[in-house]
Structure formats: structure tokens, C-alpha cells
Structure 1
Amino acid sequence: MTDRQRRAVRALVVVAAIALTLTAVAAATPAGSALVVEDASSGEQLLATPVSNGTPVVLTYTHSVEKTPVHDIYVVRNGSLVMTRMEFQSYGWGLPARANVSRENGSFTFDPQGSYEELYVKPGRTADHRLRVGNRSYDLVALSNAEGVRLHITERSVLSTTLDTLD
């Protein structure tokens, strides 16, 4: 091997070491949070979308008996989903009959208490479950093929955020 070839190999090793180091740093550096929707049985990630403190997360569905819309409203706060409001148009099974419910703009509203590390939802074709995160909307039924999902907040790295922008 000539001196020129040795220098080229050394330069290549140095470049590879720098690239590996930068990748490791990017993978370990936090870049924010994401709401993750994953298959409840397998854990397969179906969706990851960026969120920050204060981002609204809304589950909307049609009540199975009453056939009226229900909105479960959460806000991202410190890595959790905090339920801030429920809106519904009629009483039915599973809706808060004994809570302090008020009437606003033709809907019943309820300000529940609860902070959740994770939520499990069984999207249904009849209920037509939808998820809104900030200004983006997702069809949970299509996303999950009407199978149960787990929603939770996770920290994202600079590397995962960068890779997501390449998609």
C-alpha cells in the first residue's frame, strides 16, 4: 500500500468516526415530544406527530346508542394527556350522568379531571373515531384498521426528528 493510499484510508476512517459520533449525539439529544399512536396488541407504531405543552388532542366519535357526536378534549402537559373537557349532545351509556354538566351552544359540556400517561381507544367503524392533534386530523379507524390503539407522549431525538423530515 502506498503512502497516498494509507492517507486516503486514514481520512476515510476519520470521516466515518465523525459521522458515527454525530449520529450518536443526534440520537441522544432530545428535540421535543411526540404523540404516538400504536397498535395496542403488537406495539407497532402507527403514527408519531410532534406536540408540545399546550397542544390540544381531541378524540371525536359518534355515540353508539345515541348516534350523536362526542368530543373528548385533552391538552399535552409535561408528557401527559390532561383531559380538559368533554362535549356531547345527548345522554347515553358511558356519558357523565352524575357530573357537573352545563349546557353551551346546544351541547352538554363537562370539565373532568384526569391526567393520563396513556390512553387506550378501540376505534369503531360505526363510531367513526377521529383524532385531531393541533391542526392535523387523522382517521383512527383507517389508521388502525378498527383495532385497539394506545396513545401516549414520548420524547423525540434530534435524529428521529430529522429522519421524519426526510419522509
Structure 2
Amino acid sequence: MTRGRKPICILGVAAIAATLCTSARAEDAWLCLSETRGTGAEIARVPLGPEGTFRLSFIHSVSKTPVVDVYRIEDGQILQTSEIFEAHGAGLPSIANDMDATGWRHEDGHFILDMHRLTGPIPLRIQAQFKNTLHTAGSDLPLADLGHSALTLAPCDEETSL
């Protein structure tokens, strides 16, 4: 399965996944998506490119406005580098000295909190109405399309990347 130019490797379809995944470069970082509930089985692998960056977007459940969280894989760990949003709401930052904040600004109608926050694996509850989407260079993956109500995102181990 591909969306845009970058391959997305959905497991369980071995022949197709092997073909799609071979176009990623060996030095690219990979993000693994696995079941949060149940067996914890790996669902998909997504190459992130040489910068190792990705974004998660969703509609905030209280403010009903879009939020984008920006991340980078650094030294085998997930580092959140910013959060971009339009309205303050429950669970969104509201002060410049929020935990791990490195900057705060208002730009083009958006609040942007720059940060340096190690997250560990990211557990997500997936609900289609909140449009949870994983964005990588040239690829957008609506997470509800994977058919799981909860996923965990983590860097793939180098030895398990296709």
C-alpha cells in the first residue's frame, strides 16, 4: 500500500509488502505501528527518510480544531519537536514555560510550541471522526484505515526493518 511517493509496508500481505518496502533506502529511519491492545502485533512499517521526521495530525476532541504534533527519531528514540494548534483546549499547552518547551509563538493564526520532549513509544486511540493521520515525507496515512482502535508508534529495530 502506498500513499504519495513513499512506501507504507502493511504486514500480512508479504509479497506486496516486500515489493513496496524495497524502494526505501537502508539508511532511512522506520516507524513501526503495532496493536496497543491484544497481542501487540506489528501492523505496519513506515520509512521516514533520512531526516527521520513524521507528524501526527488530529481534530482535538474538545476544541474541534486541528492539531499537528511534529516528531523526529533521534538516537533510536522519538523526540517531539513541536505542537501546532489553533485554539487552547483541554490537554493543549497554554503557557510558554510548558514542560520541555523551547519556544512559543503565534504565526499565521496558529499557536506553535517548540519543544525538545522525549516521548518513548506513542500510544494512540484511533477514532475516524478525529481524523488521526500519520504524515511522512510524501505520504499521508489515515490511521483509521488500518482497522484498529488503538495503535502504538515506536522506532523499528534496525534488524527488523525490511
| TM-score, length basis structure 1 | 0.70
Unmatched 5+ stretches in structure 2: 1-25, 98-103
**Greater radius of gyration (CA):** 1
| Equivalent-residue separation in structure 2 for 1:134 and 1:76 (angstroms) | 14
Residues 62 and 134 (structure 1), Cα distance of their counterparts in 2 relative to 1, 3 Å cut: same
Match of 1:103 among 101, 106, 118: 106
**1:137 Cα deviation from its structure 2 partner:** 1.1
How many corresponding residue pairs?
Answer: 129
Match of 1:68 in 2: 65
| Equivalent-residue separation in structure 2 for 1:66 and 1:117 (angstroms) | 26
- Please tell me whether the aligned partners of residues 37 and 151 of structure 1 are also in contact (alpha carbons under 8 angstroms): yes
**1:56 Cα deviation from its structure 2 partner:** 1.6
Unmatched 5+ stretches in structure 1: 1-30, 162-167
Match of 2:16 in 1: none
1:89 aligns with 2:91: no
| TM-score, length basis structure 2 | 0.72
Match of 1:35 among 6, 20, 31: 31
| Equivalent-residue separation in structure 2 for 1:144 and 1:116 (angstroms) | 24
- Please tell me whether the aligned partners of residues 48 and 54 of structure 2 are also in contact (alpha carbons under 8 angstroms): no
- Please tell me whether the aligned partners of residues 79 and 117 of structure 1 are also in contact (alpha carbons under 8 angstroms): no
Query: Percent identical across equivalent pairs?
Result: 25
Could you list the structure 1 runs, at least 4 aligned residues long, displaced by more than 3 angstroms after superposition: none
| Equivalent-residue separation in structure 1 for 2:78 and 2:147 (angstroms) | 20
Match of 2:150 in 1: 148
Deviations 1:108-150 (A, max 9, x none): 10012311331111111221100012221111112143x1111
* Structure with the larger strand share: 2
* Structure with the larger helix share: 1
Q: Name the aligned partner's letter for residue 143 of structure 1.
A: L
- Please tell me whether the aligned partners of residues 53 and 77 of structure 1 are also in contact (alpha carbons under 8 angstroms): no
